[in-house]
Structure 1
Amino acid sequence: MYFYDQLRDMRKLKGFTIRELADRSGVSAAYISQLENGNRGVPSPEVLMKLSEGLNVSYSALMRLAGYLEAEDSGSNAPAAKTPVNLRRFLRDNELMFDGVVLSELDKEWIERMLTVLFWRDKKQQPDAGGSGLD
């Protein structure tokens, strides 16, 4: 499968029109259309970075699809062990962007609060051996 087929499939899987992806990524709709129709070569790493943000997929995944990076070794069926990331620290210590907008410290604080509420609400709803099971 060619890069342009994979890009189109990825966009459609996310439910975005070409115009929506253009708005989210900052890459022109005309260029995205040309890419998806195979009328352009593989885009530069800079364009792939913008597309990864617009599609909300990892930059390295797009770089692999485009042929800039080698595919991960699939010889082993066991998933690679990953070190967990402390999400609270990640939110606090990094400059973050969502839909092309850089998040302020207040934005990040609100995200942290929402995640805390969602996480603990979910934990509270799960019955455990020592709890009453009542909310």
Structure 2
Amino acid sequence: MTPFGDAVRLLRQKKGVSQKQMAAAIGVSPAYLSALEHGKRGAPSFEFLQRVAGYFNVIWDDADELFGIAALSDPKVMLNTSGLPAAHTAFANRLAGRIRTLSGETIRILEDVLEKARFPDKEH
């Protein structure tokens, strides 16, 4: 599952439409929409995102949030650590090797660490 897949599923449920109905309305196959929702496809195109936002009548601010979620939803992440210190490469590889076994709580802790690193002067 991806964050974008979760968001689309919630939007569909709120509107009371099936994958098949939504797929027909936005011009994609139900199989493609299912694969997106289940994290078996990469991040969708900007054109697709615009069709989804239009279909659900998503306002601009919410559309920006949806587009941001889509950008974080590629299930096949690649990290290029060339040129970085050895510790960065080792950490990326350790994370890749253990990502499937991390608990939700551990992910939340790591998210908090990343957020603090993004804004080091901001108090949490």
Give the TM-score, by structure 1 length.
0.44
Which is higher, the Rg of structure 1 or of structure 2? Answer: 1
Q: Which has the higher helix share?
A: 2
Give the TM-score, by structure 2 length.
0.48
User: Higher RCO, 1 or 2 (CA under 8 Å, sep at least 6)?
Assistant: 2
